[in-house]
Structure 1
Amino acid sequence: MKPITPDELVQLIPSILWTMSPAILTHLTVSSSDDASADGSADFADRASMMEVRLQAQEDEITLLKSSLADALRKLRLHDQLLPLLKQQLIRSNRNSSGNDKTSNLGRKTLSRRKSIKMFIRGRPITMYIPSNIQNYEDLKMEPPFERLELDWVYGYRGRDCRDNLYFLPSGEAVFFIACVVVLYHINNRTQRHYDKHTDCVRCLTLHPDKVRMASGQTAGVDKDGKPLHPCVHIWDSTTLVTLQQIGLGAFQRGVGCVAFSFDSGAFLCVIDDSNEHMLSVWDCNKGTRHAEVKNTNEAVFCVEFNSNDSTNIITCGKSHVYFWTLSAGQFTKKQGIFGKYKKPKFIQCFVFSLTGDVLTGDSEGNILTWGKSTFQIMRQTRAHEGSVFTLCSLQGGAVLSGGGKDRKIIRWSADLAPERECEIPENYGAVRTISDVDGEELLVGTTRNAILRGTFSDGFVAIVQGHMDEMWGLATHPSQNIFITCGHDRQVCLWKTEEHKLDWCITLEYGLCADFCPNGSVVSVGLSTGRWMVLDLLTREVVSESIDGNEQLSVMRYSPDGSFLAVGSHDNFIYIYNVTESGRRYTRFGKCNGHSSFITHLDWSKDGKYIMSNSGDYEILYWDVAAGCKLLRNRFESKDREWASYTCVLGFHVMGVWLEGSDGTDINALCRSHSERMVAVADDFCKVHLFQYPCPKPKAPSHKYEGHGSHVTNVCFTHSDSHLLSMGGKDTCILQWRVIRGGPGDSREKLASTSTSSPEPATS
């Protein structure tokens, strides 16, 4: 075949352009010199006004079209820059075509070598440029990393919306749950074990009469394809953590709200699901078969128990009702509690049995009502608390403990309901959600602000477990110490110690969405939902600097490697750059990176501290020369060999393989490269944490997958020594600390892969 001459190649360009979309050609004619990644040359107010009009019409499609045009223009500019090089190569090829075959073959190989590859997000092509040190991209082999993760610690407790979920075992362990994990925490040794066989959020928990076996129920959820997953109840051994029975798979709807063992021998399990009728069912624990079932009520149900003296009787309570059930020959009969002359409360929150067999209920009016065991009528009303009575706990000898909502009091009552002692828990822990007796004197108290307290009436109470109370997004680890910081929608900024497994301090600000430690380790910056950001001194907790950039939420804070700059990424599409002096205590505006078409999601600094790589909500990858005045680098090809101090951008050549084929752009919320640059951890939208080999530039790369979160995982971060990985859940308010296990000489990637992916696919809450 006759070689194409340079002149012929130039003549072909108009024909190529003619085949392009008319919309693209029109745009090129009007603005051939503009950068289509953003209206960088236009005034910000005009651009914002234009975007408002477009968003009202069809926001998502317009954004994607704009980004596609940006790619087209960048390719044209790159083509113009590469044209002289192609001419030279063609001339050299023509000169050698009739002579040196070896040189000719080398020329063809050079021309055919791939310089870029495309990945697709929501159908939109994104060009990734291959670094120069990768000669044969097609021959790269992706394997899972030698390292693997092991759950080390769980921070948090679900008390805000669950009841009766705190028990004390003879082993000295407190048992409670958060997200998909049931935690067994030894209160004296300060160690944790974990029952981790649930595939979605645990909702309820109960202890067998033998004080060893436990039952826990989970919600339903959906898988990553939107298919519903059935809720179920697990019966398991608290000593060995072995699952003994899985009850009701496919029989419950939406989730399991309440569970209770029969008091005699624990042979039966009572379950109430979250269906519209809140179905009440009784199951044979040994056989795993359903013994009886009945529709309960369309109203909310808070509690269920077998009668302590007769396992054929079951009691349920909830919104505006107390029901007394009798089970005979597989059939239920129901008697409704009669309030008579007493005011009917809106909610019956809890109940226990007295020594005489009467039923004591706590309600939303602050009263304890005594119900006759055979009359189903109120025998007595006792004023107990201001606000709701959230929990009742029976003690040996007949005494009763009650926990209040509004007044946050714990009151000890005699068997005939005479008040004996009382105390009040600190306001910052919230209301009393549940009480568990340790030894008759010492108590464990779960609160509505997701804390567990330990103490006595005489000595007061201290927190042994604490957690966030709302969705979390901000996470950062210290550059040299084993501590990390978190922030979220509960307005709390918390500093945690990874070795002691405890909260060091917590302060209240605004909605915190991002954070980063200064490289010198003395201060931390926190970005808020209002555009404000603050710098806190780690020792004094004082605000040493405060600024505001725009009026939209901040999504990322990132210091340069030497700490001389701070980059602040905002939802107003800008990256604000600050000079940092006085050891991180003084900040002055240096410049602003203007060019993204959507909100900033992630950014990283180069190792020399001169450049920034950033991602945005419309899946752009842009590069900036900070030293040159925050200049947008229009030729992305020139940044393909740049080395990055951190890698948290979810879009980039080095992390292409973490995306599944056909992924939505929101399927991955965050990722983090290890300091060793050997692995990358990924937080996805389906409750999973993944561990990949780094770099990970090829599709369908294998990974180790880990479960435990019960909602979208919002962030991940390695500790400074890569000894641990922190992962943060969104709605599950849970922080999981994973120990990084190094691969030994006898390990193989295949063995690690089979070990880490043996558990079932997790669900999305």
Structure 2
Amino acid sequence: MAPVKSTRALLGQRPTVLLPPSNYVEPSEEDLQAPSSQLQLDWAYGYNGRAVGAVHWISDEEFVFSVAAVAVVQCLHPARQRFFVGHSQRITCLSYCSAWKLCASGQIDPKGGQGPFICLWRPADCILLTVLVCPLHEDQITSLCFSPDGNQLFSLARDSANTLAMWESFLPGKTSCGITSAGMELPHVYRTPVAKVATGKVGGFGMVGSKDAANFQVAIFDAGKTGIGLLLKFVHVVNGPELQGRSAIFPPSSAPRHVLNCAWMDGECLACGDNGYLYMFQGTSASCSQRIATAALGFAVPLKNKELLVASKDSVLHFCHFSHQKLEEVAAVPFSQLKGGGLLTAAGPLRPNTAALGTAGLLIGSENHHLFLLDPLERRVKQLLQLSHTGAVTAMAVHPEPQMKLLATAGAQDATIRFWDVNEHQPVVGRVLKFEEDQSGIFSLAFHSSGRLLACGFGDGQLQLLSFPALKPVPGGRRWAGAERLAALCFLDPGDGYGYGGYGMGMDDMLAVGSWDQTVYIFSSSSSSKSPLRLLKGNTSSVTHMQCSAEGTYLMTNSKDGQVLYFNVLSGERVTQETVKNCSWKDWSCPMAWHTMGMWAAQRHFGISGIKCCRAFHAVTGEALLAAGDVSHQITLFHFPSLSGKQGFHRYDGHGGFVSCMATLPGADPTTAAALLTLGGDDGALLQWRLVSRAVAARAWHEEERQPQQAMRLREGTKAAAPRRRPPWDFEDAEEEALKGRGAARGPWVQHGGTDLPYAEQLEEPLSRQPRRQGGTSGGAGEAGTCPRAAGAATTSLAAEPKPRRHSLTVAAAAMVAAERLRAAGKTTAAKDERPTQRQHGGLFAERHWLDSGAIIASVARQVKRSGSDGG
């Protein structure tokens, strides 16, 4: 077979000429199949602190929470996790029904206009049982709540009316032993709630149900996420499926701006205000109000013997006692003074907003994405369970020591570096590095091969070198590489030696820094000199990815415009593909190259920025694999190299935002990868995937896969519309319609069947620009006077003309006849020979305004006004 000289491929829809290695052979049929290796979710790091009430105990040792698009069931002893991956977008709310041991979770609206949906699933095995899709729900499902017996589910969503829906009979099967799925096709999809009611203009982002089954009520509150008003409503079911809501009445002297959280105690509702007041409601009126703190209150949890634990958002716990309709504060303990609490507040104050009380302790979640276990009796923090960065995360680096399995991540918004112990599946408490003075964020991280140096690239062009594990700046470690974002870092360390500062680095160790100013800066990592050794130029856009050859001689770069360039690091000169086509590369991370063109061909819909990151590696399963993360929140797994558009691959859900970074963890053999780490850029999730030979891939629920011909969002059936009141611009009266034989046809600007207005090409025939015949009208304008039938006569004469046909009346005709009607009503005395010119002008005017019904009505009104002004 003759060798292939070059290949013209589309990388991100951009044509690029690529050269294969000298030993390249065409891929076989086996190479085109999907890999036999697969990814299986092993651990999820992070916590969604945006949701209120999104953590629940489901047993003495297990609790459920959400991160990104994954619902996690975590056990304390032994530490393990189960995952529900049935959502296609970020999970926004979560509820648990202890009566049926069932979880309900809602998400934000997926792309494509399908609408947000609710998943009901069993936490015991994470099987999806039911999907609820309400046509009125839009944007996101903000809150969910079960009735005490589990027979009713309430869902609240963001739409124009902030609709609250009640669902019944939503489970596919119930038995005395619980919910069963034997002999059933799952999931069942339900679209019609038994009741729904608009809750008002203020959106509700929280919902808590009372524990009293006989007098069950739901409290809806705004959770401080809306700036247009205060919301606290109590909703109960009356007369069967009917919902009735009543607004809460606050004391005029101490009314809050927002209600941040609610809880129920002995049939009374406790409401936490943003003014530091705690309110107790009997019915709809506040029977008691007490100021607990100067800061806003995050939650209130009833304890035993009328005791109450209230947390304020200035990181203080308030232990209170309730007696005789009055709250008495027993103690106020800051989080920093709790046993083990000082480490939690090392990176800043906590802002608690969620709590769940169980036998093992009190689970507390915060707005800044902390989830930890507290012993309220001993007043100590038992365990930090989860945490996330407070903003977007775009940098990740794995420590080179295989046995350590330590991971560092950096925030692009909070300028914070956090560390994770992958062996113990937990964040490293207290080892948080925060750059208080920096506001540009950290966008790249890299460990030296010795593990004793960490490089950080900032958004303003600053490069910082830190010693590890001390995390102290090394002498001369602060340098500048231009004035734009440093998007890629790569250590070029060909050998060991006795280097600067005793960090175990060679004298020739170099650090490559890829900047958004289109330049790659080469620094000496073993010298205190702040000036770069050389500059690598040639990119015509910002450098986004970079990788070095195994021997550290060559550098490959990708840029925003899809360029693939190669450089000789020692000489600083740009080299051709021919020079490096047989080169082996270390830590493959460039999405655009000859080895990855099949990855782009298999996903042709992605542009240059569609695939955010990739990683090639040898797996412990014996295959060479290529993993990619993209803007569709998914992870794909290919063979490596991936060369054909027919390349098979596996796809995995779990992230709720674009996948910004990838890294691998070594197995027993350091040259092979046992796990893949993926970082969500804006969902706060760090997911660890285990590489296995076979796995059952968990996929999000997508209706188009099950019912490709049926839209996910369906309009509910409506009653026949009431007779329409004719607007003043609707000139087609009954006599005209009878003459045309169209019955009760409506004007062209009326929305057809309640749907969108048809475009111009959907009408039967366009309006002709031929002038109207002079003899087509009987009688002049003065003969019409103010008779209401005069306008009808004028339009009838127009309808009698052979062209244009009246059954396809357009806006121009509407404008002309409206003008004729005003003239006939005595509004004008213009001569008849002026009307054709006016009509032609109106036709040209209407053709430029085929936008929507509002534009059409406006065009008619302008024609009427113009006709009136012309006639004086």
Q: TM-score, normalised by structure 1?
A: 0.78
* Residue 203 of structure 2 is aligned to residue 300 of structure 1: yes
Q: Which residue in the other structure is 2:123 paired with?
A: 238
Partners of 2:88 and 2:17 in 1: how far apart?
37
Q: Which residue in the other structure is 1:654 paired with?
A: 595
* Residue 394 of structure 2 is aligned to residue 394 of structure 1: no
Contact 2:315 2:350 in 1 (8 A): no
Q: Which residue in the other structure is 2:607 paired with?
A: 664
Partners of 2:19 and 2:461 in 1: how far apart?
34
C-alpha displacement of 1:189? 2.2
* Residue 637 of structure 2 is aligned to residue 713 of structure 1: no
Partners of 1:135 and 1:494 in 2: how far apart?
44
Q: Which residue in the other structure is 1:173 paired with?
A: 62
Partners of 1:292 and 1:622 in 2: how far apart?
61
Match for 1:267 among 136, 140, 151? 151
Match for 2:566 among 617, 623, 628? 623
SS in 1 for 2:254: coil
Partners of 2:660 and 2:114 in 1: how far apart?
22
Q: Which residue in the other structure is 2:492 paired with?
A: 560
Partners of 1:137 and 1:149 in 2: how far apart?
23
* Residue 141 of structure 2 is aligned to residue 256 of structure 1: yes
Q: Which residue in the other structure is 1:142 paired with?
A: 32
* Residue 116 of structure 2 is aligned to residue 221 of structure 1: no
Deviations 1:498-551 (A, max 9, x none): 111122222112411111111112222111111112222222121222211111
Equivalent positions of 1:352-363 (< 5 A) are: 352-355=263-266, 357-363=267-273
Deviations 1:148-174 (A, max 9, x none): 111111111111x21111222324112
Contact 2:145 2:154 in 1 (8 A): yes
Identity between Structure 1 and Structure 2 (%): 21
Cα 1:615–1:276 change in 2 (3 A) is same
Q: Which residue in the other structure is 1:508 paired with?
A: 434
Contact 2:95 2:103 in 1 (8 A): yes
Q: Which residue in the other structure is 1:26 paired with?
A: none
Partners of 1:759 and 1:348 in 2: how far apart?
34
Cα 1:692–1:561 change in 2 (3 A) is farther
C-alpha displacement of 1:714? 0.6
Partners of 1:478 and 1:142 in 2: how far apart?
34
Q: Which residue in the other structure is 1:453 paired with?
A: 372
Cα 1:593–1:340 change in 2 (3 A) is same
Q: Which residue in the other structure is 2:450 paired with?
A: 520
Cα 1:675–1:641 change in 2 (3 A) is same
Deviations 1:444-465 (A, max 9, x none): 2111221112223434225222
Partners of 2:259 and 2:90 in 1: how far apart?
25
C-alpha displacement of 1:409? 2.7
* Residue 636 of structure 2 is aligned to residue 690 of structure 1: yes
Contact 2:396 2:662 in 1 (8 A): yes
Partners of 2:262 and 2:12 in 1: how far apart?
52
Equivalent positions of 1:531-610 (< 5 A) are: 531-544=461-474, 545-562=477-494, 564-581=509-526, 589-610=532-553
Cα 1:760–1:696 change in 2 (3 A) is farther
Which one-letter code corresponds to 1:502 in the other structure?
Answer: Q
SS in 1 for 2:596: helix
Deviations 1:619-664 (A, max 9, x none): 1011111222x1012x333322222123211110001111112421
SS in 2 for 1:674: strand
Equivalent positions of 1:404-415 (< 5 A) are: 404-414=312-322
Deviations 1:393-442 (A, max 9, x none): 23344433222113533434335432234422244352111122123x83
Q: TM-score, normalised by structure 2?
A: 0.69
Deviations 1:700-747 (A, max 9, x none): 421111111001111111123311111000110110011111x3xxx6
C-alpha displacement of 1:332? 2.7
Partners of 1:130 and 1:140 in 2: how far apart?
20
Contact 1:675 1:720 in 2 (8 A): no
SS in 2 for 1:342: helix
* Alignment RMSD: 2.5
SS in 2 for 1:756: coil
Contact 1:235 1:243 in 2 (8 A): yes
C-alpha displacement of 1:473? 0.7
Contact 1:580 1:587 in 2 (8 A): no
Contact 2:11 2:597 in 1 (8 A): no
Cα 1:638–1:147 change in 2 (3 A) is same
Partners of 1:713 and 1:236 in 2: how far apart?
26
Return the index of the structure with the highest Cα Rg. 2
Equivalent positions of 1:733-744 (< 5 A) are: 733-741=684-692, 743=693
Contact 1:654 1:696 in 2 (8 A): yes
Contact 1:320 1:344 in 2 (8 A): no
Q: Which residue in the other structure is 1:327 paired with?
A: 237
Partners of 1:471 and 1:240 in 2: how far apart?
32
Partners of 1:706 and 1:429 in 2: how far apart?
36
C-alpha displacement of 1:139? 8.2
Q: Which residue in the other structure is 1:365 paired with?
A: 275
Contact 2:100 2:150 in 1 (8 A): no
Partners of 1:285 and 1:188 in 2: how far apart?
36
Cα 1:176–1:377 change in 2 (3 A) is same
SS in 1 for 2:194: strand
C-alpha displacement of 1:312? 5.3
Which one-letter code corresponds to 1:571 in the other structure?
Answer: W
SS in 2 for 1:203: strand
Q: Which residue in the other structure is 2:843 paired with?
A: none
C-alpha displacement of 1:230? 2.5
Deviations 1:666-709 (A, max 9, x none): 11001111156811111111111111111112224211111110
SS in 2 for 1:665: coil
Which one-letter code corresponds to 2:48 in the other structure?
Answer: R
Q: Which residue in the other structure is 2:160 paired with?
A: 276
Partners of 1:332 and 1:250 in 2: how far apart?
18
Give unpaired runs (5+ residues) of structure 1. 1-108
Contact 1:581 1:587 in 2 (8 A): no
Q: Which residue in the other structure is 1:316 paired with?
A: 220
Equivalent positions of 1:693-704 (< 5 A) are: 693-704=639-650
Cα 1:390–1:170 change in 2 (3 A) is same
